[in-house]
Structures are given as structure tokens and as C-alpha cells.
Amino acid sequence: MTHAYPTKVLYIDMTKKSYRSVERPELFAQYLGGTGAAIKLLEEHCPAGIDPYAPEAPLIFSVGPLTGLFPLASKTVAMFKSPLTGNLGESHAGGRAAQAIRMAGYGAIVITGASELPVYVAIHGATVHFRDATSIWGMKSLFTAGSIIRGGEPGAGVRSIIRIGRGGENKVAFGSATTETYRHFGRLGMGAVMGSKKIKAFVISGERSIPVEDKKKYRDLYDQIFKAAVESPVMKKYHDLGTAGNVMTMQKLKAMPTRNLQSGSFEHAEAISGESLASKYLGRRLACAHCPVGCIHIAAVREPYENEPYFYKTTMVGYDWELIYALGSMLGIGDPDGMFLLIDEVEKVGVDSMSAGVCLAWATEAQEKGVITEKETMELKLAWGDWKTYIKAMEHLVNQPNDFYKALAKGSAHAASVYGGADYALAFGGNEMPGYPTGPASYLGFLLGTRHSHLDNAGYSLDQNAIKSGKAMTPPQIVDELMKEEFWRQILTSLCVCLFARGIYTPEVVRESLAVAGYTFTDAEILALGRSIYRDKYAFKLKHGFSFDTIAKPGRIFEAVAPTGPFDRTFIDEGLAHAKKKIGELIAE
């Protein structure tokens, strides 16, 4: 039988500037692709104790068997050792990267070694070029670097350009990589890993066919998924307001992360709400390749030039819930123009927006409390809502002109370990919090998720169910549910399906689509695979220093008023102890 899953892994050695492509069908036959294939490749190339910036440390991209075949399977999974958490770095990006990698002929790419001079790597089908990037290294904006690369490379329309800014170049531990201007490998520092290898960008393109055995079944299932996607009210929500629609939902829940989580409601929420931004700023919507939804919202921000009347600069700034929370309410910024200009700064330098916002929020509170002074901030007086000063602080954070900014560039937890204020450094396992402070399930989710991301296990939805039903769950019940959800999500992310489409890719659709791609998995086998990928990820984390016993729980989360009602340290510790036992058993299996 013809199978439609990828088989090739491209290995690139940045030190030798060499590459080879290896047929590894078993990798994709057994582990699908995405998360499943990437963790296996990471195990092969990333030994315990390795420095995340060591030349030998690998950077892995992986796509799925449904990429290029069915809609919504548009994510690329990246794995690396995270310079921010010191253990598993896993980041997913949309855009056109997944399609480009698959269409170039690969299921995964493994990059090791480091270049002496800055280069960008152009992968066009079977050929890899190493191009000099010294003249675009250190450029103020990564957008400019992107447009220069765009002008000189083939593959317009079917290529992806994954680039870093100064954040990645200067090894900010949460330096990100941007693809197609508005999508990111945002979290956990993939951009810094690229920077350590002196890789300014990847350009990837290709156009191939993916033959399928049963054409009729393929067409029918395609139409079923397409129809579900365009008719789904959930997907319409993502298209209309996008995740920015969460602002008013979170505000009503009293879970709007405000001024470093000192409050759960923000007096300017309305001004930065999805509804308000859409009516006043929305200029364009974009979609990832092969996704009918178009959830990417772009604001047209008009800035007057101060000394020239009737002369304006218009900047197109992407926004969503995470950006609004981290660079808006968390910093007390209620002026949408100011918030957009800060977002634009964060985009230009190329760092993770959530980590950046939470680091600045910690620094603001630390300065208020006298833990740091203007000596540390280099004369800046950080103050809630003062976006102009935050833009200056971002420049310092990226350029790291003194010890304080050097420490802050390693993350809020690290900076707090040097200067104090750990109780209000809102990082979990070293990763700054996402914007879902709904209650204990959400926090247990951040602490236990393999990526410390809300998307690992959706703890916030357990909290929301508890709020609605009035029935509180016990810590072990929460942990069991979180683990179960995360098992299943390993399958979705191994298929590289966008998690927004998790309601469309039901277990039945997953089984059917895998059958079209040439797999013979049963439902039970699919579930077992999800469990085993989760186990492998945890085994990696534990090998690289993750500990249930020492993971920090910032005191602020116990003081903040959670919509679920109060909970204490014992509650969270009980959950962690249960997880330690369960995950220990899983690994021993």
C-alpha cells in the first residue's frame, strides 16, 4: 500500500556547512511526525548535561503526515534544549513553515553545529545553500532582514522564512523566531538557539505531490474536515475577533492578569478588548497555509510625525490575547496605540511576548518595592502604563548593557534569584506564565505541562468547568485530567494539527485521516502512542534536571483572587506529589 507520510530527515551541520538527507520511514511510521518524531530525534542528539548553546546541541523541526494533505495540519514543531528552562524546549509555529518543509520533501530537519560567521540557510527542495548573513546581523528590525532575504530567494508564495532578530542574536533566553512576519516559534528560546549557531534565518521552499492510495476516501474526508472547519462556530470566533475576544471574557471572570497579577480586573479592559480593537484598528486578517480560518489579526496603527502635520506612518501590528495580556494589562497599559507600539518593538527585536511582558512586569514591581533601583534600570523609572519607558527597557533587555539587564534577559525567575522578589516573578518551571490565571487547575497545568504552556493541557478549562458547575476538583483529580488531556494532545501535535482545531480532529477523524495517509492504527493504539510520547518527553525533562520537588510556585498565585475561589500551597503541593507518583509509574512501565 502507498503511504502518504513523510520519510526523509534532513541533517544539517552548521560547523562543516554540510548536509545529508536520510530515509527514515520507521520514524514517521511509528511516531507520526511533529512532537512524536521530534522527541525521538532529540533523544538521539541531545545528551544530558549539554549546554543549550553548545554547538552540538540540536535544533529540530518536524512536520506531520497530514501536513499538505488535509486542512489545519499547519503547525511545525521545533524541539531543542531550552535556554530558559534548561530542559525540554518545544515550540510550535504556524505560517507556511510546515507546508514548506513537507513540500521540500522532508518530515524533519535536524540542525547541529555552529557557524563561525552569521549565515542564513536556504533549503530549496533537495538543495541546501549556506548564504552569508553578516550584513543583516544586528539589524534593528527583523522585518527588514526578512524583506531583504525575500528579495533574493526563489519560491515566492510557497516558501517560509524563519528569522531571528537581535533578541535571538544576543541570546536573550526567550529569544524567538518569526515566520511569515506574524507567526512565531515564540516560547522557550528557539531564537536564542538559532543565534548561538549564528543562523539568522531559514528559507524553505518546495512543491511536491503527496500520492494517496484511496483517492475517493481522501476527497470525501477532506470535504468533511473542510466543511466542519468553515461551519464551526468555534472557528468563526477565531476568525471574527480572534483570541482577543478573551479580553472581556477574562475581565468578567475577574481573571484579567493586571499589573503583574496584582489584580484580576483591569479598568481599561474595554479599550483593549477584541471588540474595540476590531472596530478601530483591524486592518487585515491572515491565515496559515491550508487553514480556512484566518485567525491572525493585524491592526493598522497610524502614528503622526510630531513636527510634520498631515504626515503619518502606518504600521501593521499583529495582535491576539497573549500579546494584549502580556504587553497590555499585565503592564497596566490601557492605551491601545501605546500597547501596539510596544508590541511592535517586541516583534522587531524578536523575543517571546509573554516572557517579555512578564519580565517587565516583575521589574516594575521590583522597582516599586525598592528591590531594584534606577541604578539597575539605567535611569529608567518603570511605571504601570508608561509604554514609552517600556520600549526603552526592551532595548536595554535586548542589548544587555549592564548586569541587571543581562540577568533579566535570562528570564524573570533568574533575575529574581539574583535580586529578590521571587514571589512575584510569575514564571513556572522558568517559563513566564501565559494569560490564564483562572485557578489551581490552570497553575497545576503550567507547572506540569511538558512545555509549561497553557496549551499543553488546558487547565483553565477545568477551572472554568469548576466555576460553572460549582464543583471543585481535588488535586489528584485535576492532575489525572491534565495528564489525560496532554496524552491526547501529543497525538494532535504529532499530526501537527492546530490546537484551535482540536474539536474538528476528533478521535474518529484522526483515525480516518491516518488511514488515508496509509496507517493502520486502532483507536487504542493511537491513545497508547499519545501516552508514550508524553512519557518520552517527561523522561527527557527529568534527565535534563526537571524536578517536581524544587519547581518554584510564586507566592503571588496564592494571594491573587482566583475566580475558582481561594486555594493554598498545600493544594498545589498535593497535586505535584500525585503527578510525581503517576509520572514516575509511567516512566517505569
Partner 1 sequence: MKLKVIDAQRCVGCQLCMFACSRRSGIGGLSNSCIGVKSAGGMSKGFTVIVCRSCKNPPCARACPVDALEVRPEGGVRLKAERCIGCGACRNACILKAVFWNNETQKPLICVQCGICAKYCPHGVLELRKDTGKEEVRS
> 188 near 93, Cβ under 8 Å?
no
Q: In 3-state terms, what secondary structure has residue 543? A: helix
* C-alpha pair distances (Å), 124 with each of 17, 105, 156, 185: 16, 9, 12, 21
Closer by beta carbon to partner 1, 236 or else 280: 236
- All three cell numbers of 332: 497596566
Q: How far is the CB of 7 from partner 1 (least distance, A)?
A: 14
**Taking the complex as a whole, how short is the minimal distance between the CB of residue 184 and partner 1, in angstroms?**
13
State the chain's maximal CA–CA distance in angstroms: 71
What's the closest the beta carbon of residue 219 comes to partner 1, in angstroms?
Answer: 6
For residues 81 and 239, which CB has a smaller minimum distance to partner 1 in the complex?
239
Name the residue nearer to partner 1 (CB basis): 103 or 393: 103
Helix 523-543 and helix 34-45, axial crossing angle in degrees, nearest 10? 30
**Minimum distance from residue 331 beta carbon to partner 1 (Å):** 25
The residues near 413 (Cβ < 8 Å, ≥ 6 apart) are: 422, 425, 427, 430, 552
Q: Which is nearer to partner 1, 231 or 549 (CB)?
A: 231
Q: How many CB atoms lie within 10 A of CB 422?
A: 17
State how far the Cα of 88 lies from the Cα of 457, in Å rounded to an integer: 16
**157 or 233, CB closer to partner 1?**
157
Rounded distance, CA 316 to CA 176, Å? 19
User: Which residues form the interface with partner 1 (CB under 8 A)?
Assistant: 4, 68-71, 99, 102-103, 125, 143, 146-147, 150, 156-158, 180-182, 207-212, 215-216, 218-219, 222, 226, 230, 284-294, 296, 298, 316
Q: Which is nearer to partner 1, 316 or 380 (CB)?
A: 316
Pick the closer one to partner 1 by CB: 239 or 410.
239
Taking the complex as a whole, the smallest distance from the CB of residue 290 to partner 1 amounts, in Å, to 6
Distance, in Å, from the CA atom of 25 to the CA atom of 2, rounded to the nearest integer, reads 12
Is residue 108 within 8 Å of residue 10, measured between CB atoms? yes
CB of 209 to partner 1, least distance (A): 4
d(CA 464, CA 306): 46
Report the residue number, 136 or 289, with the smaller CB distance to partner 1. 289
Query: Minimum distance from CB of 435 to partner 1 (Å)?
Result: 25
φ, ψ (nearest 5 deg) of residue 520: -125, 35
Q: Which three cell numbers stand for residue 551?
A: 519547581
- Rg of the chain over Cα atoms, rounded to whole angstroms, equals 23
Intra-chain end-to-end CA distance of the chain, in Å? 33
* Minimum distance of partner 1 from residue 283's CB (angstroms): 9
